[in-house]
Amino acid sequence: MKNVIVTGGAGYIGTHTCIELLNNGYQPIIFDNFCNSSKRNIDTLNEHFGNVPYYDVDCRYEWKVDNALNRAINKFGKISGVLHFAAYKSVGKSVKNPLDYYDNNVGSMQTMLRCMKKFGIENLVFSSSCTVYGQPDKLPVSEDTPLKPAEAPYGRSKQICEDMINDCVKAHQLRAVTLRYFNPIGAHPSGLIGELPLGDPENAVPYITQVASGLRQEFVVFGNDYDTRDGTCIRGYVHVVDIAEAHVKAMNLLLNKNLVSNVFESIREEGSEVDDAWLTSLKQTENESSNQVFNLGTGDGFSVLEIINAFEKESGVKLNYRIGPRRSGDVSAIYANVTKAKRWLGWTAKLNVNDAVRDAWRWQQTLNSEK
């Protein structure tokens, strides 16, 4: 098995990715300080999915990461790559506490890049976000869409991290894949793993499921006067299991020695013309340091009210919600063009929004049954 470090691996996307890594011949090793996650997730992984060792590490501190890497290498052997999830993720909290987001998100990225160089780890999969695009002029956004100023410090912290990776690619041997998510939602279909927010949920779907369960009084829709089809914000959404699968494919891409021929064959089979610029970039990815960026989404956008309607349909529960004022940091609409991920990674979203809200509701019922 190939050993890979998963920073923030006890969190929402990290735990789902660990499951997919185990299913595909990798040994995930979690680095997490549990500031926004729970050891319960690691217990569940070990009980139901496979052995996942972990180290209690705050990735902002180089000496702590050095120590954990030394211990992991001594116990498990060579580390093939790093999947870096460790970050704060709330748009709203980043507006209120911007320095916390720069300290944690940018600081942990800087430390991991330093330690990867020191330990000779050349492969990185970075957890980025669609917020790096800011308010786009045209939809859907592709990886070539120019980045606008981010609407909140969270998005700016991800932009800075992407710049740091690009600079390190130029400076020394580093091969990276950056994955820009379009709002991960849902939970593992088993009902055993899902989003486990500490305190008030910052994302819409876990807040919706908690309101539907009676744990919270109401769900607030932040604004209904946007220039969208129903006045509420439109977002791309993607099932967390699909996102987890994309991370495995991204690591495969970095470790694959036959990348160009494999992607060329994929393009040929779908009957598309071969783009010379793409093939040149692929060859660079295969043979040199590089950072390849991919959008992860379904290719469609859904409004907040459409997500509520999908949840009510799948759960059979009428949601108590009201319209509130706009929230600072929100863009009106954004969703992804995912053609590049399909061609290069062989990845497309297999699950839809209805699947995601159904699985999220199943996970909420699991939590309810434990109380």
Q: Which of 154, 181, 207, 237 is catalytic?
A: 154
Kindly state the tokens that stand for 256.
Answer: 């694959």
Kindly state the tokens that stand for 266.
Answer: 């994929």
Q: Which helix (H) or strand (E) holds 101?
A: helix 98-101
Tell me if 183 sits within 8 A of 238, measured CB to CB.
Answer: yes
Distance CA 282, CA 290 (A): 9
Please report, for residues 88, 186, 218, 220, 254, the alpha-carbon distance to residue 204 in angstroms, rounded to integers and kept in the order given.
16, 11, 12, 9, 33
Known active-site residue 12: no
DSSP conformation letters of 141-200: B-TTSPPPPPSSHHHHHHHHHHHHHHHHHHHS--EEEEEEES-EE---TTSS-----SSS
Q: Is the dihedral of CA 282, 285, 288, 293 positive or negative?
A: positive
Catalytic residues: 154
